[in-house]
Structure 1
Amino acid sequence: MQNSFQRFFFIVLFLTQAHITYSQKIKPTTGPVFDSVGAVFTVNDLDFVPDAFQELKAIFDIDNKQADASIPNRVISSMHRYYNMHVRAGIPKDQIHLALVLHGGAVKDALASAVYKEKYNVDNPNVDLIKSLSAIGVDVFLCGQSMTSGGYNKADLLPEVKVGLSAMSVLTVYQMNNYALIKF
Protein backbone atom coordinates (compact mmCIF):
# COMPACT_ATOMS: atom_id res chain seq x y z
CA MET A 1 0.00 0.00 0.00
CA GLN A 2 2.82 2.36 0.90
CA ASN A 3 4.58 1.74 -2.45
CA SER A 4 1.42 2.67 -4.32
CA PHE A 5 1.07 5.84 -2.29
CA GLN A 6 4.74 6.73 -2.86
CA ARG A 7 4.42 6.15 -6.59
CA PHE A 8 1.27 8.25 -6.70
CA PHE A 9 2.97 11.01 -4.67
CA PHE A 10 6.02 11.07 -6.98
CA ILE A 11 3.87 11.10 -10.11
CA VAL A 12 1.85 14.02 -8.76
CA LEU A 13 5.05 15.80 -7.73
CA PHE A 14 6.61 15.20 -11.16
CA LEU A 15 3.53 16.42 -13.03
CA THR A 16 3.25 19.48 -10.79
CA GLN A 17 6.91 20.35 -11.35
CA ALA A 18 6.57 19.75 -15.09
CA HIS A 19 3.51 22.02 -15.20
CA ILE A 20 5.29 24.77 -13.24
CA THR A 21 8.36 24.52 -15.47
CA TYR A 22 6.23 24.54 -18.62
CA SER A 23 4.18 27.49 -17.36
CA GLN A 24 7.34 29.45 -16.60
CA LYS A 25 8.74 28.86 -20.08
CA ILE A 26 5.73 30.15 -21.99
CA LYS A 27 5.45 33.61 -20.47
CA PRO A 28 6.01 36.42 -22.96
CA THR A 29 8.42 39.22 -22.12
CA THR A 30 8.87 42.77 -23.33
CA GLY A 31 11.91 44.49 -24.80
CA PRO A 32 14.32 45.24 -26.27
CA VAL A 33 12.62 48.21 -27.97
CA PHE A 34 9.58 48.69 -25.72
CA ASP A 35 9.84 47.67 -22.08
CA SER A 36 6.26 48.26 -20.93
CA VAL A 37 4.30 46.95 -23.92
CA GLY A 38 4.72 44.52 -26.79
CA ALA A 39 5.37 41.27 -24.95
CA VAL A 40 6.50 38.40 -27.18
CA PHE A 41 7.45 34.78 -26.74
CA THR A 42 10.95 33.46 -27.22
CA VAL A 43 10.77 30.73 -29.85
CA ASN A 44 13.58 28.24 -30.31
CA ASP A 45 14.51 26.15 -33.36
CA LEU A 46 12.97 28.50 -35.92
CA ASP A 47 12.81 27.50 -39.57
CA PHE A 48 12.27 31.07 -40.77
CA VAL A 49 13.62 34.40 -39.55
CA PRO A 50 13.77 37.46 -41.81
CA ASP A 51 17.22 38.34 -43.13
CA ALA A 52 18.81 40.92 -40.84
CA PHE A 53 20.02 42.89 -43.88
CA GLN A 54 16.57 43.21 -45.45
CA GLU A 55 14.36 46.16 -44.61
CA LEU A 56 11.02 45.24 -43.11
CA LYS A 57 8.38 47.69 -44.30
CA ALA A 58 4.74 47.29 -43.27
CA ILE A 59 1.62 49.38 -42.93
CA PHE A 60 -1.03 48.32 -40.45
CA ASP A 61 -4.65 48.82 -41.55
CA ILE A 62 -6.58 49.40 -38.32
CA ASP A 63 -10.34 49.76 -38.38
CA ASN A 64 -11.50 47.63 -35.48
CA LYS A 65 -13.38 49.26 -32.64
CA GLN A 66 -12.60 48.19 -29.11
CA ALA A 67 -16.00 47.72 -27.43
CA ASP A 68 -14.72 48.82 -24.01
CA ALA A 69 -13.45 52.40 -24.35
CA SER A 70 -11.07 51.94 -21.41
CA ILE A 71 -9.08 49.15 -23.12
CA PRO A 72 -6.30 49.93 -25.62
CA ASN A 73 -6.66 48.88 -29.24
CA ARG A 74 -4.85 45.53 -29.42
CA VAL A 75 -3.84 46.06 -33.05
CA ILE A 76 -1.97 49.26 -32.19
CA SER A 77 -0.15 47.44 -29.41
CA SER A 78 0.72 44.64 -31.85
CA MET A 79 3.05 47.10 -33.58
CA HIS A 80 5.09 47.22 -30.37
CA ARG A 81 5.23 43.42 -30.50
CA TYR A 82 6.41 43.62 -34.10
CA TYR A 83 9.39 45.76 -33.09
CA ASN A 84 10.28 43.75 -29.98
CA MET A 85 9.98 40.42 -31.77
CA HIS A 86 12.07 41.34 -34.79
CA VAL A 87 14.79 43.24 -32.94
CA ARG A 88 15.06 40.35 -30.49
CA ALA A 89 15.49 38.04 -33.50
CA GLY A 90 18.45 40.09 -34.74
CA ILE A 91 16.84 42.58 -37.11
CA PRO A 92 18.34 46.04 -36.49
CA LYS A 93 15.72 48.56 -35.35
CA ASP A 94 16.71 50.94 -38.14
CA GLN A 95 15.82 48.25 -40.70
CA ILE A 96 12.18 48.27 -39.53
CA HIS A 97 9.83 50.84 -41.06
CA LEU A 98 6.19 50.83 -39.97
CA ALA A 99 3.15 52.99 -40.53
CA LEU A 100 -0.46 52.71 -39.47
CA VAL A 101 -3.73 54.10 -40.66
CA LEU A 102 -6.77 54.31 -38.40
CA HIS A 103 -10.24 54.44 -39.90
CA GLY A 104 -13.79 53.27 -39.31
CA GLY A 105 -14.34 52.18 -35.72
CA ALA A 106 -10.73 53.01 -34.79
CA VAL A 107 -11.16 56.77 -35.31
CA LYS A 108 -11.71 57.18 -31.57
CA ASP A 109 -8.22 55.83 -30.86
CA ALA A 110 -6.68 58.95 -32.44
CA LEU A 111 -8.64 61.42 -30.33
CA ALA A 112 -6.90 63.85 -27.98
CA SER A 113 -7.33 63.02 -24.31
CA ALA A 114 -9.82 65.80 -23.55
CA VAL A 115 -12.04 64.94 -26.53
CA TYR A 116 -11.91 61.22 -25.73
CA LYS A 117 -12.75 61.77 -22.08
CA GLU A 118 -15.68 64.04 -22.96
CA LYS A 119 -17.16 61.40 -25.26
CA TYR A 120 -16.30 58.16 -23.40
CA ASN A 121 -15.85 59.32 -19.77
CA VAL A 122 -12.39 57.71 -19.56
CA ASP A 123 -8.89 58.66 -20.62
CA ASN A 124 -7.82 57.53 -24.08
CA PRO A 125 -5.94 54.27 -23.37
CA ASN A 126 -4.12 54.55 -26.71
CA VAL A 127 -2.25 57.80 -26.02
CA ASP A 128 0.98 56.19 -24.81
CA LEU A 129 0.84 53.53 -27.54
CA ILE A 130 0.58 56.14 -30.28
CA LYS A 131 3.15 58.48 -28.69
CA SER A 132 5.73 55.71 -28.27
CA LEU A 133 5.30 54.54 -31.86
CA SER A 134 5.52 58.05 -33.24
CA ALA A 135 8.63 58.70 -31.13
CA ILE A 136 10.54 55.95 -32.97
CA GLY A 137 9.42 57.10 -36.41
CA VAL A 138 6.17 55.25 -37.08
CA ASP A 139 3.88 57.33 -39.31
CA VAL A 140 0.43 57.47 -37.70
CA PHE A 141 -2.42 58.42 -40.03
CA LEU A 142 -6.14 58.90 -39.61
CA CYS A 143 -8.56 58.58 -42.51
CA GLY A 144 -9.87 62.08 -43.23
CA GLN A 145 -13.13 60.63 -44.53
CA SER A 146 -13.76 58.63 -41.35
CA MET A 147 -12.71 61.58 -39.18
CA THR A 148 -15.12 63.97 -40.91
CA SER A 149 -17.91 61.41 -40.99
CA GLY A 150 -17.52 61.00 -37.23
CA GLY A 151 -17.87 64.75 -36.70
CA TYR A 152 -14.23 65.38 -35.75
CA ASN A 153 -11.52 67.67 -37.10
CA LYS A 154 -7.73 67.80 -36.82
CA ALA A 155 -7.89 69.89 -33.62
CA ASP A 156 -9.64 66.92 -31.92
CA LEU A 157 -6.69 64.58 -32.52
CA LEU A 158 -3.50 63.64 -30.75
CA PRO A 159 -0.64 65.80 -32.09
CA GLU A 160 1.19 62.70 -33.39
CA VAL A 161 -1.67 61.83 -35.76
CA LYS A 162 -1.58 62.99 -39.38
CA VAL A 163 -4.76 63.23 -41.42
CA GLY A 164 -4.81 61.55 -44.82
CA LEU A 165 -7.33 62.13 -47.59
CA SER A 166 -8.60 58.62 -46.90
CA ALA A 167 -7.38 55.31 -45.51
CA MET A 168 -7.58 53.97 -49.06
CA SER A 169 -5.23 56.72 -50.27
CA VAL A 170 -2.67 56.12 -47.51
CA LEU A 171 -2.79 52.33 -48.00
CA THR A 172 -2.42 52.64 -51.78
CA VAL A 173 0.59 54.94 -51.65
CA TYR A 174 2.40 53.00 -48.93
CA GLN A 175 1.87 49.71 -50.77
CA MET A 176 3.15 51.34 -53.97
CA ASN A 177 6.27 52.20 -51.92
CA ASN A 178 6.80 48.51 -51.03
CA TYR A 179 5.15 48.47 -47.62
CA ALA A 180 3.45 45.16 -46.94
CA LEU A 181 -0.15 45.41 -45.80
CA ILE A 182 -0.93 43.95 -42.38
CA LYS A 183 -4.63 43.61 -41.70
CA PHE A 184 -6.05 41.83 -38.67
Structure 2
Amino acid sequence: MQNKFQYLFFLVLFLTQVHISFGQKVKATTGPVFDAVGAVFTVNDLDFVPDASQELKAIFDIDNKQVDASIPNRVISSMHRYYNMHVRAGIPEEQIHLALVLHGGAVKDALSSAVYKEKYNVDNPNIELIKSLSAIGVDVFLCGQSMTSNGYNKADLLPEVKVGLSAMSVLTVYQMNTYALIKF
Protein backbone atom coordinates (compact mmCIF):
# COMPACT_ATOMS: atom_id res chain seq x y z
CA MET A 1 0.00 0.00 0.00
CA GLN A 2 2.83 2.35 0.86
CA ASN A 3 4.38 1.72 -2.58
CA LYS A 4 1.11 2.75 -4.25
CA PHE A 5 1.09 6.03 -2.32
CA GLN A 6 4.73 6.66 -3.12
CA TYR A 7 4.05 5.91 -6.78
CA LEU A 8 1.02 8.24 -6.84
CA PHE A 9 2.94 10.94 -4.98
CA PHE A 10 5.81 10.84 -7.48
CA LEU A 11 3.40 10.67 -10.43
CA VAL A 12 1.54 13.75 -9.19
CA LEU A 13 4.84 15.51 -8.50
CA PHE A 14 6.12 14.62 -11.99
CA LEU A 15 2.92 15.75 -13.71
CA THR A 16 2.93 18.98 -11.71
CA GLN A 17 6.51 19.69 -12.82
CA VAL A 18 5.64 18.89 -16.44
CA HIS A 19 2.63 21.22 -16.25
CA ILE A 20 4.69 23.96 -14.65
CA SER A 21 7.49 23.72 -17.21
CA PHE A 22 5.10 23.70 -20.19
CA GLY A 23 2.57 26.10 -18.74
CA GLN A 24 4.86 28.87 -17.58
CA LYS A 25 4.94 32.04 -19.61
CA VAL A 26 8.34 33.42 -20.37
CA LYS A 27 8.87 37.00 -19.29
CA ALA A 28 10.36 39.63 -21.57
CA THR A 29 13.19 41.64 -20.07
CA THR A 30 14.83 44.95 -20.90
CA GLY A 31 18.46 45.84 -21.55
CA PRO A 32 21.25 45.99 -22.44
CA VAL A 33 20.78 49.35 -24.21
CA PHE A 34 17.52 50.52 -22.64
CA ASP A 35 16.61 49.42 -19.13
CA ALA A 36 13.25 51.16 -18.72
CA VAL A 37 11.68 50.22 -22.07
CA GLY A 38 12.17 47.82 -24.95
CA ALA A 39 11.52 44.46 -23.29
CA VAL A 40 12.34 41.45 -25.47
CA PHE A 41 12.27 37.69 -25.12
CA THR A 42 15.30 35.46 -25.11
CA VAL A 43 14.84 32.93 -27.89
CA ASN A 44 16.83 29.69 -28.07
CA ASP A 45 17.69 27.55 -31.10
CA LEU A 46 17.44 30.34 -33.67
CA ASP A 47 17.74 29.56 -37.36
CA PHE A 48 18.48 33.16 -38.32
CA VAL A 49 20.44 35.87 -36.55
CA PRO A 50 21.84 38.90 -38.40
CA ASP A 51 25.55 38.76 -39.15
CA ALA A 52 27.34 40.68 -36.38
CA SER A 53 29.77 42.13 -38.92
CA GLN A 54 27.01 43.85 -40.91
CA GLU A 55 25.55 47.25 -40.20
CA LEU A 56 21.82 47.27 -39.55
CA LYS A 57 20.21 50.38 -41.02
CA ALA A 58 16.46 50.93 -40.78
CA ILE A 59 13.98 53.77 -40.90
CA PHE A 60 10.68 53.38 -39.09
CA ASP A 61 7.63 54.86 -40.83
CA ILE A 62 5.28 55.83 -38.01
CA ASP A 63 1.82 57.17 -38.81
CA ASN A 64 -0.45 55.38 -36.39
CA LYS A 65 -2.45 57.38 -33.91
CA GLN A 66 -2.66 56.18 -30.34
CA VAL A 67 -6.33 56.74 -29.44
CA ASP A 68 -5.67 57.25 -25.72
CA ALA A 69 -3.46 60.37 -25.53
CA SER A 70 -2.01 59.23 -22.19
CA ILE A 71 -0.47 56.05 -23.64
CA PRO A 72 2.88 56.05 -25.49
CA ASN A 73 3.02 55.18 -29.17
CA ARG A 74 3.93 51.48 -29.20
CA VAL A 75 5.69 51.76 -32.56
CA ILE A 76 8.17 54.30 -31.16
CA SER A 77 8.91 51.92 -28.29
CA SER A 78 9.49 49.16 -30.87
CA MET A 79 12.70 50.93 -31.75
CA HIS A 80 13.91 50.39 -28.19
CA ARG A 81 13.08 46.70 -28.59
CA TYR A 82 15.02 46.65 -31.88
CA TYR A 83 18.15 47.93 -30.14
CA ASN A 84 17.88 45.66 -27.10
CA MET A 85 17.13 42.57 -29.18
CA HIS A 86 19.96 43.03 -31.65
CA VAL A 87 22.61 44.04 -29.12
CA ARG A 88 21.69 40.96 -27.08
CA ALA A 89 22.12 38.89 -30.24
CA GLY A 90 25.70 40.15 -30.60
CA ILE A 91 25.32 43.10 -32.98
CA PRO A 92 27.59 45.90 -31.74
CA GLU A 93 25.59 48.98 -30.82
CA GLU A 94 27.70 51.17 -33.10
CA GLN A 95 26.61 49.05 -36.09
CA ILE A 96 22.92 49.82 -35.56
CA HIS A 97 21.69 52.95 -37.33
CA LEU A 98 18.04 53.89 -37.01
CA ALA A 99 15.83 56.80 -37.97
CA LEU A 100 12.13 57.44 -37.65
CA VAL A 101 9.65 59.68 -39.37
CA LEU A 102 6.37 60.64 -37.73
CA HIS A 103 3.42 61.71 -39.89
CA GLY A 104 -0.33 61.45 -40.14
CA GLY A 105 -1.89 60.42 -36.84
CA ALA A 106 1.52 60.34 -35.13
CA VAL A 107 2.12 64.10 -35.45
CA LYS A 108 0.96 64.61 -31.86
CA ASP A 109 3.75 62.35 -30.58
CA ALA A 110 6.32 65.01 -31.57
CA LEU A 111 4.64 67.86 -29.67
CA SER A 112 6.32 69.65 -26.79
CA SER A 113 4.99 69.02 -23.32
CA ALA A 114 3.25 72.40 -23.11
CA VAL A 115 1.51 72.11 -26.49
CA TYR A 116 0.53 68.47 -25.88
CA LYS A 117 -0.87 69.22 -22.43
CA GLU A 118 -2.85 72.18 -23.75
CA LYS A 119 -4.44 70.03 -26.44
CA TYR A 120 -4.86 66.67 -24.64
CA ASN A 121 -4.86 67.63 -20.93
CA VAL A 122 -2.05 65.15 -20.18
CA ASP A 123 1.72 65.14 -20.52
CA ASN A 124 3.12 63.78 -23.78
CA PRO A 125 3.84 60.12 -22.93
CA ASN A 126 6.35 59.89 -25.79
CA ILE A 127 8.84 62.45 -24.51
CA GLU A 128 11.20 59.99 -22.81
CA LEU A 129 10.93 57.54 -25.72
CA ILE A 130 11.99 60.20 -28.21
CA LYS A 131 14.67 61.69 -25.93
CA SER A 132 16.27 58.32 -25.24
CA LEU A 133 16.37 57.43 -28.95
CA SER A 134 17.79 60.81 -29.91
CA ALA A 135 20.43 60.51 -27.17
CA ILE A 136 21.92 57.43 -28.86
CA GLY A 137 21.91 58.99 -32.32
CA VAL A 138 18.54 58.06 -33.79
CA ASP A 139 17.36 60.73 -36.25
CA VAL A 140 13.80 61.74 -35.36
CA PHE A 141 11.85 63.50 -38.11
CA LEU A 142 8.37 64.93 -38.41
CA CYS A 143 6.66 65.31 -41.77
CA GLY A 144 6.49 69.05 -42.47
CA GLN A 145 3.32 68.55 -44.53
CA SER A 146 1.53 66.74 -41.69
CA MET A 147 2.80 69.26 -39.14
CA THR A 148 1.54 72.22 -41.15
CA SER A 149 -1.79 70.64 -42.08
CA ASN A 150 -2.43 70.03 -38.36
CA GLY A 151 -1.73 73.70 -37.56
CA TYR A 152 1.63 73.25 -35.81
CA ASN A 153 5.06 74.75 -36.41
CA LYS A 154 8.60 73.86 -35.33
CA ALA A 155 8.27 75.86 -32.09
CA ASP A 156 5.49 73.44 -31.03
CA LEU A 157 7.78 70.40 -31.17
CA LEU A 158 10.15 68.58 -28.86
CA PRO A 159 13.70 69.88 -29.38
CA GLU A 160 14.89 66.42 -30.55
CA VAL A 161 12.50 66.44 -33.53
CA LYS A 162 13.69 67.65 -36.93
CA VAL A 163 11.19 68.76 -39.58
CA GLY A 164 11.44 67.23 -43.05
CA LEU A 165 9.82 68.53 -46.22
CA SER A 166 7.57 65.47 -46.06
CA ALA A 167 7.57 61.93 -44.72
CA MET A 168 7.79 60.76 -48.32
CA SER A 169 10.96 62.82 -48.84
CA VAL A 170 12.64 61.52 -45.69
CA LEU A 171 11.66 57.91 -46.47
CA THR A 172 12.89 58.17 -50.07
CA VAL A 173 16.28 59.60 -49.17
CA TYR A 174 16.92 57.19 -46.31
CA GLN A 175 15.98 54.20 -48.46
CA MET A 176 18.25 55.47 -51.23
CA ASN A 177 20.98 55.46 -48.57
CA THR A 178 20.36 51.73 -47.92
CA TYR A 179 18.10 52.07 -44.88
CA ALA A 180 15.50 49.31 -44.81
CA LEU A 181 11.92 50.47 -44.37
CA ILE A 182 10.08 49.18 -41.32
CA LYS A 183 6.37 49.84 -41.46
CA PHE A 184 3.91 48.48 -38.92
TM-score by length of 2: 0.92
Q: Which amino acid in the other structure matches residue 73 of structure 2? A: N
2:151 alignment counterpart: 151
TM-superposition CA deviations, 1:142-176 (whole Å, max 9, x none): 00000000000000000000000000000000000
Shift of 1:17: 3.9
Read off the aligned partner of 1:81 and give its amino acid letter: R
Counterpart for residue 113 of structure 1: 113
For 1:32-51, what per-residue CA distance to the aligned partner results, in whole angstroms no more than 9, with x for missing partners? 00001000000011111111
Q: Structure 1, residues 56-102: CA drift from partner, whole Å, max 9, x if none?
A: 00000000000100000000000000000000000000000000000
Unpaired runs of 5+ residues, structure 2, are: none
**Aligned residue-pair number:** 184
TM-score (norm. length: structure 1): 0.92
Residue-by-residue CA offset, 1:85-143 (whole Å, 9 max, x unaligned): 00000000000000000000000000000110110011100000000000000000000
The CA distance in 2 between the partners of 1:35 and 1:105, in whole Å, is: 28
Report the residue type matching 2:168 in the other structure.
M
Per-residue deviation, 1:18: 4.0
Query: How far apart in 2 are the matches of 1:19 and 1:153?
Result: 57
Residue aligning to 1:88: 88
Give 1:124's aligned amino acid.
N
Q: State the alpha-carbon separation in 1 of the partners of residues 50 and 164 from structure 2.
A: 31
Query: CA, structure 1 residues 171+116, in 2 after alignment: closer, same or farther (shift >3 Å)?
Result: same
**Deviation of residue 27 (structure 1)?**
0.6
Partner SS for 1:140? strand
Q: 1:25 to 1:181 in 2, by over 3 A?
A: same
Counterpart CA distance in 2 for 1:70 and 1:152 is: 20
CA RMSD of aligned residues (A): 2.1
In 1, the alpha carbon distance for the partners of 2:144 and 2:51 equals 36
C-alpha distance in structure 1 between counterparts of 2:23 and 2:126, whole Å = 30
Question: Match for residue 167 of structure 2?
Answer: 167
1:29 aligns with 2:29: yes
Structure 1 residue runs of 5 or longer lacking an equivalent are none
Query: What is the one-letter code of the residue matched to 2:155?
Result: A
Instruction: State the identity %.
Output: 89
